[in-house]
Amino acid sequence: MPPLDQALSSRLTEPRPCETRQRIIETALRLFAENGFRGVSVRDLSAEAQVNVAAVNYHFGSKQGLYHTIFETVLDEDEARFAAQIDQVATLLGRAGSDPLLLTTAVESLARGLVGRLSTFEHLRWFSVLVARELAFPGDLFDLIYRRRAEPVLRLLARLVGAAWGLPPTSEAVRLTANVLHGNLASLVFSRPILGRQLGWDHYTPERLDQLTRTITDLICRAVGLPDLKALPGPRAATGESV
């Protein structure tokens, strides 16, 4: 084959830049989770992703740039769904005022959204390991996680607790309780293997998702003195159906 034809053929079979970039991100997500940031070299990463060594610097500027991009990319993938669920709960809280039953409905919506995202978030297993590392040793990416995920949920929980107790959401007691509740919710991400081992759940069925949603809802409601799901009127008390 003439040299020009060989060059053209090679270009046709090479992955597109966007495909190469995505493959690097997915490979790096797994390798960084398994070995830590310092435990992965650019050469090892390139070999695993089957790309040229220069591809990491070309697409991300550096290994550190790639690490930051992983966080931005994974959070972006989940952003639309997360924002919609936050807005839904915020709307329910706005309608509820201090009504205990309506506040319970808002709690259930929050719990169902969390459980749904836990069961369908494709990168959760690997990404949760990276998040755990950043929480253990807070740096620049801790601020990103706090701003984009922790803070919006904490604001909702503070509104919820404040409404249940008749206190402003800025109260120290309210914010402390909101943080404790948030810590319990966040632990679900890291304790999934324990839950699976204890209950024999190798996957989430719709029935198991409902059961987990009801359990989380009732625990939060008991913690802040709200009625449980059984107190809600209509079929919701029996099914836990989300609004």
**Confidence class of residue 223 from pLDDT cuts 50, 70 and 90?**
very high
CATH code assigned to 3-60: 1.10.10.60
- For residue 16, pLDDT beyond 70: no
Return d(Cα 91, Cα 205) in angstroms, integer. 28
Instruction: Specify the CATH number for 68-239; select among 1.10.3720.10, 3.40.50.10420, 1.10.357.10, 3.40.50.300.
Output: 1.10.357.10
Return d(Cα 26, Cα 70) in angstroms, integer. 8
**Confidence class of residue 238 from pLDDT cuts 50, 70 and 90?**
very low
Planar angle of CA 14, 15, 18, nearest 5 degrees: 145
What confidence score (pLDDT) does residue 125 get?
Answer: 80
**pLDDT tens per residue across span 35-46:** 999 999 999 999
**Confidence class of residue 221 from pLDDT cuts 50, 70 and 90?**
very high
Return d(Cα 13, Cα 5) in angstroms, integer. 12
pLDDT, mean of residues 174-184: 97
Dihedral over Cα of 115, 120, 121, 124: its sign: positive
The residue count for the chain: 243
pLDDT, mean of residues 16-38: 90
Where would I find the H helices in the chain?
A: 3-13, 17-35, 42-49, 54-60, 63-96, 100-120, 124-136, 140-145, 151-165, 172-190, 192-199, 206-224, 236-239
- For residue 188, pLDDT beyond 90: no
What confidence score (pLDDT) does residue 122 get?
Answer: 65
- Domain limits of the chain? 3-60, 68-239
- Residue 96's nearest CA partner among 48, 149, 162 is 162
What confidence score (pLDDT) does residue 140 get?
Answer: 83
Is the model more confident about 170 or about 6? 170
**Confidence class of residue 233 from pLDDT cuts 50, 70 and 90?**
confident
- For residue 241, pLDDT beyond 70: no
- For residue 210, pLDDT beyond 50: yes
